[in-house]
């Protein structure tokens, strides 16, 4: 198999990441099916597509014909079987829970054609913790997009010990066709490449808040105006989701047994109140006032 054999992409999960990954695939010429267990999320994803594409035309970023063609290449369904049965490449972007991902991959292994590559967009769960539920371990890998997936260029292609060179090559080629910049992560290390660096920053920012060294606003300002980051760590967490940061902290604790990995008190406070960041209107910042 090579990249020319990849025509149909299935994206599992229509949330923060999944709806944008699937739309991006459709814009770049792939027949794309986006699936989710939540009809509500699918509706939201579809209405995003229906407002995004005309918006791009209005801004002169896309012709009307290009927008129409992209729209015709994407569809939404809550039926996993229907979504994955003809896929050449699957990108799973469901919630960050290991047991759930293992179940999804076991199902996908039965549904998707034998040649299909099954990738997970997980931020922290390495594919070797999932691949053993399939009969195609060599075709199961991490393909890690960044948020917002329509905008961010970087994609990490993580080659665990079970992943074949062919799967890695096709995945890197797919990124090129998606007009992304891919990096080959040669080992399954925690946090992969960029998040490993960013997590150190998040962690230090949260400790400084816990110790009352500075406010959320001032920690963000320091990173933006002193280090030249496009946004501070708290603003970035609001964008990526505090629920994700919380879950990642818990998963990390379960993996290492290190209490320092547990979500910090301020993060827990926001989490229990359902303040997950931009998607709920409130997180470290209050977006309902803007």
Ligand X SMILES: NC(=O)c1ccc[n+]([C@@H]2O[C@H](COP(=O)([O-])OP(=O)(O)OC[C@H]3O[C@@H](n4cnc5c(N)ncnc54)[C@H](O)[C@@H]3O)[C@@H](O)[C@H]2O)c1
Q: Which is nearer to ligand X, 57 or 77 (CB)?
A: 77
Q: Which is nearer to ligand X, 28 or 102 (CB)?
A: 102
| Contact call for residue 87 and ligand X (CB under 6 A) | no
Minimal distance, residue 269 CB to ligand X, in Å: 20
Site string for ligand X, 221-260 (x = CB under 6 A): -------------------xx--x----------------
| Contact call for residue 36 and ligand X (CB under 6 A) | yes
CA–CA gap between residue 176 and residue 30 (Å, rounded): 13
Q: Which two tokens stand for residue 4?
A: 């020319």
Minimal distance, residue 206 CB to ligand X, in Å: 17
Active site residues: 123, 144, 156, 195
Residue nearest to ligand X (CB): 15
| Contact call for residue 22 and ligand X (CB under 6 A) | no
b or e along 19-58 (b: 16 or more beta carbons within 10 Å of the residue's beta carbon)?
bbbbbbbbbbebbbbbbbeeeebbebbbeebeebbeebee
Q: Please identify, among the stretches 6-14, 55-63, 168-176, 199-207, the one whose residues bind ligand X according to the rule CB under 6 A.
A: 6-14
Residues 6 or more apart whose CB falls under 8 angstroms from that of 97 comprise: 247
Residues 6 or more apart whose CB falls under 8 angstroms from that of 35 comprise: 10, 11, 12, 13, 14, 42, 76, 77, 78, 79, 80, 82, 83, 84
Footprint of ligand X on 137-156 (CB under 6 A): 145-147
Q: What are phi and psi of 240, to 5 degrees?
A: -85, -20
Neighbours of 83 (CB within 10 A): 25
| Contact call for residue 14 and ligand X (CB under 6 A) | yes
Q: Which is nearer to ligand X, 62 or 92 (CB)?
A: 92
CB 116 within 8 A of CB 88: yes
Minimal distance, residue 100 CB to ligand X, in Å: 6
| Contact call for residue 122 and ligand X (CB under 6 A) | yes
| Contact call for residue 111 and ligand X (CB under 6 A) | no
- 3-state secondary structure at position 10: strand
| Contact call for residue 123 and ligand X (CB under 6 A) | yes
Please compute Rg for the chain using Cα positions: 19
Residues 6 or more apart whose CB falls under 8 angstroms from that of 114 comprise: 136
| Contact call for residue 119 and ligand X (CB under 6 A) | no
Neighbours of 113 (CB within 10 A): 11
- Pick the binder of ligand X from 25, 89, 96, 263 (CB under 6 A): 96
Q: How many CA atoms lie within 13 A of 149 on its CB side?
A: 26
| Contact call for residue 133 and ligand X (CB under 6 A) | no
Name residue, tokens 């090579």: 2
Minimal distance, residue 203 CB to ligand X, in Å: 17
Q: Which is nearer to ligand X, 102 or 177 (CB)?
A: 102
Binding positions for ligand X, rule: CB under 6 A: 12-18, 36-38, 41, 93-96, 100, 104, 121-123, 145-147, 240-241, 244
């Amino acid at each position: 198999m090579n990249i020319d054999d990849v025509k149909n992409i299935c994206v599992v999960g229509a949330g923060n990441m999944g709806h944008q990954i699937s739309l991006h695939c459709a814009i770049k010429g792939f027949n794309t099916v986006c699936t989710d267990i939540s009809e509500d999320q699918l509706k939201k994803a579809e209405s995003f597509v229906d407002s995004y594409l005309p918006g791009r035309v209005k801004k002169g970023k896309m012709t009307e014909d290009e927008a129409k063609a992209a729209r015709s290449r994407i569809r939404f369904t809550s039926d996993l079987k229907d979504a994955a049965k003809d896929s050449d490449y699957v990108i799973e972007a469901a919630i960050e829970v290991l047991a759930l991902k293992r179940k999804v991959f076991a199902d996908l292994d039965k549904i998707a054609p034998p040649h299909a590559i099954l990738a997970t967009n997980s931020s922290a769960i390495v594919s070797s913790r999932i691949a053993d539920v399939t009969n195609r371990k060599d075709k199961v890998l991490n393909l890690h997009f960044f948020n917002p997936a329509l905008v961010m260029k970087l994609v990490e292609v993580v080659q665990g010990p079970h992943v074949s060179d062919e799967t890695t090559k096709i995945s890197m080629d797919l990124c090129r066709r998606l007009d992304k910049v891919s990096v080959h992560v040669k080992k399954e290390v925690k946090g992969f490449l960029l998040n490993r660096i960013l997590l150190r920053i998040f962690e230090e920012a949260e400790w400084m808040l816990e110790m009352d060294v500075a406010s959320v606003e001032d920690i963000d300002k320091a990173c933006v105006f002193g280090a030249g980051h496009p946004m501070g760590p708290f603003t970035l967490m609001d964008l990526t989701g505090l629920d994700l940061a919380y879950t990642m902290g818990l998963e990390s604790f379960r993996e290492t047994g290190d209490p320092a990995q547990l979500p910090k008190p301020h993060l827990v406070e926001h989490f229990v109140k359902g303040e997950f960041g931009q998607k709920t209107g409130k997180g470290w910042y209050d977006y309902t006032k803007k």
